[in-house]
Structure 1
Amino acid sequence: MKRSFQYTCLLAFAATFWCACEKTALVEYVQPDMIYFFKDPNLSEKDSLSYSFAIKSETMQFDTVQIPVRIMGTAKDYDRVVTWGTVDSLTTAVAGTDYEVLPAKVPAGAYTAYVPVRILRNAAQKTKEVRLLLEIRESKDFKPGIDDARGGDWAYPGAGIRYLVKINDFLTKPNNWDSWLKYFFGSYSQVKYGFIIDVTGRAEFPDTGPNALPYGQFQYFESVCRNALEAYEAEHGTLIDEFGNPVTF
């Protein structure tokens, strides 16, 4: 009798639990559409971009840089607006003088896009570099994505809603000099960099991305620069850089 009572109670409890489960509806979690600057850890320009008009034609008065962004969520069947602004306290570039805001969008069906920024050339950039710190802002289509996710000394892909663009009109160290070019050209100086540009006929030496040069090409440039320096020294003597040191390769 006691066992029968226990069995009856167990069935009643099970029935009650089952009914409770049936009445509990699952609530779908809906994440708002978000967007962020995509920072590829394999690229030297993952966190910032240095743009120098000094390596461009003297007639070039403006250019456009493209900063990659990615969405969090699903693609849509229509174009969506991306809005960005500047962090004024950390920006020295002046709108209309150093840069212009261009329309940005994520095309229909896309998960990735680019924020275009028009860079303007002016005389002040000959002596002073300006900084433009971009920040993703909320638009009618997107909220800002990941604020900042970092791992050690480098940023994970999709690391933040801010991106720094540095603008000048004098020779500056390429972004990949310390990570790659120094193994072929040695320590950096403006004089050395200018010499390399004159000898090779190029000012950009990408080692990552779609335009990356093969390893052998860097070895070739190193050899060409070394031979050109020997020829220069034979005719003019030692080439001295802005630090008072002889240029070497």
Structure 2
Amino acid sequence: MKKLTIICGLALLGAACTKEAGLTYTEKDKIYFVYSYLYYGKVIEYDKVLFSFGKHPDDIIRDTAKIPVRVMGQQAAKDRQYHFSIDKDSTTAKEGVHYEVLNPQQTFGKGLFTDTLRVVALRSQLSSSHIKQENARLRLRMESSDDFDKGTTRGAVIDLYINNYLSEPKWWKKYEGFGLSYYHPEKWKILMQFHPSFRDENADYPMDANLVGTYISSLRSYLANIPTYDQETHARVLIDKLVP
């Protein structure tokens, strides 16, 4: 089953610097990485992106991770080029093993304030163990180019984590108090079968709290009546505990 990833409701929020009447924008535009979501009306920004193959079917061995890139400045009537580097000292992901070769020069599309850097992630050498939880980290650092200065500290560096297990969705802990209890990938798989809204690991809340309570009750009943086991330890999965 499938990504991901990551990993609360994600929203890629565009931003722009606009000209005021009578003023001329003369500074060189800046560029930076941005990854953000809306939480209780507040924009939360992260310095990392999580991409997981955990929800992919087993035959999907490559897919594309997307990292938003934003301009601090003006839109342009033509494509522009930006540069980044790979921080090898802080990177554990291996080129050609965990991700395909990246061109350090990328195109930022004309007329845009936010574009997307695409990284092709590779699955075959990633462990699917929920216990070990292997994450391959790719750290990218924005650099200056002919078209852009790199931004300030904010957004200058971003980490892409690539994994192959069902990492806990952001909304899980918000529902623990409704009886969902501890996180386990088998429990999440069942919830995804119950309703497609549960597939979005990045959602702020997949659904109304009153409605989700009904699905949690159904999950409790399912696990009590249909034996479900941890694939590594073979312990039985119940709503509130693992039974050896």
Query: TM-score under structure 1 normalisation?
Result: 0.67
State the partner residue of 1:68.
68
Q: Structure 1 runs of 4+ off > 6 angstroms?
A: 238-245
- Matched AA of 2:146: K
Asked whether the equivalents of residues 34 and 143 of structure 1 are also in contact (C-alpha less than 8 Å), the reply is yes
User: Which of 120, 139, 144 is 2:150 aligned to?
Assistant: 144
For 2:84 and 2:175, the matched residues in 1 are separated by 33
Alignment counterpart, residue 215 of structure 2, candidates 196, 220, 224: 224
- For the 8 Å contact 1:50–1:175, the answer to whether it is kept is no
Deviation per residue, 1:198-239 (Å, 9 max, x gap): 44465324425xxx74x32x6434422422431431354x97
For the 8 Å contact 2:224–2:238, the answer to whether it is kept is no
Change (3 A) 1:240 1:78: closer
Q: Tell me how far apart the structure 1 counterparts of residues 165 and 184 of structure 2 sit (CA, whole Å).
A: 12
Structure 1 residue matching 2:126: 3-state secondary structure: helix
Where does residue 18 of structure 1 map in the other structure?
Answer: none
Deviations along 1:49-95, whole A, 9 cap, x unmatched?
22221211111111112211211222221101122222212110011
Structure 1's unaligned 5+ residue stretches are: 1-27, 149-159
**Aligned position for 1:119:** 121
C-alpha distance 71-29 of structure 1, shift in aligned 2 (>3 A): closer
1:146–1:161 Cα contact (<8 Å) kept: yes
Matched residue, 1:166:
161
Contact 1:125 1:167 in 2 (8 A): no
Separation in 1, partners of 2:89, 2:213 = 42
Shift of residue 144, structure 1, vs aligned partner: 1.1
C-alpha distance after superposition, 1:127-182 (max 9, x if no partner): 4221111221222211210213xxxxxxxxxxx1111211111121124434x454
Tell me if structure 1 keeps the 8 A contact 2:223–2:237. no
SS in 1 for 2:116: strand
C-alpha spacing 1:133/1:219, structure 2 compared with 1 (3 Å): farther
- CA offset at residue 36 of structure 1? 0.7
Q: What pairs with 1:1-249 in structure 2 (closer than 5 Å)?
A: 30-40=26-36, 42=38, 46-100=46-100, 101=102, 104-127=106-129, 128-148=134-154, 160-178=155-173, 180-182=174-176, 184=178, 185-200=180-195, 203-208=199-204, 213=206, 215-216=207-208, 219-236=210-227, 246-248=238-240
1:186: Cα distance to partner?
3.3
Aligned partners of 1:33 and 1:49: how far apart in 2?
A: 24
User: After the TM superposition, which of the residue ranges 36-45 and 221-230 deviates more from structure 2?
Assistant: 36-45
Q: Distance in 2 between matches of 1:240 and 1:77?
A: 55
Cα RMSD after superposing both structures: 3.3
Report the secondary structure of 1:68's partner residue: strand
CA 1:230 to 1:116, structure 2 compared with 1: closer, same or farther past 3 Å?
same
d(CA) in 2 for partners of 1:235 and 1:38?
Answer: 43
Unaligned runs of 5+ in 2: 1-23
1:105 is paired with a residue of what secondary structure? Answer: strand
Task: State the alpha-carbon separation in 2 of the partners of residues 235 and 29 from structure 1.
Answer: 65
Instruction: Report which of the two structures shows the higher radius of gyration computed on alpha carbons.
Output: 1
Structure with greater contact order relative to length (CA < 8 Å, sep ≥ 6): 2
Q: Secondary structure, in 3 states, of the residue corresponding to 1:42?
A: strand
Identity of aligned residues (%): 23
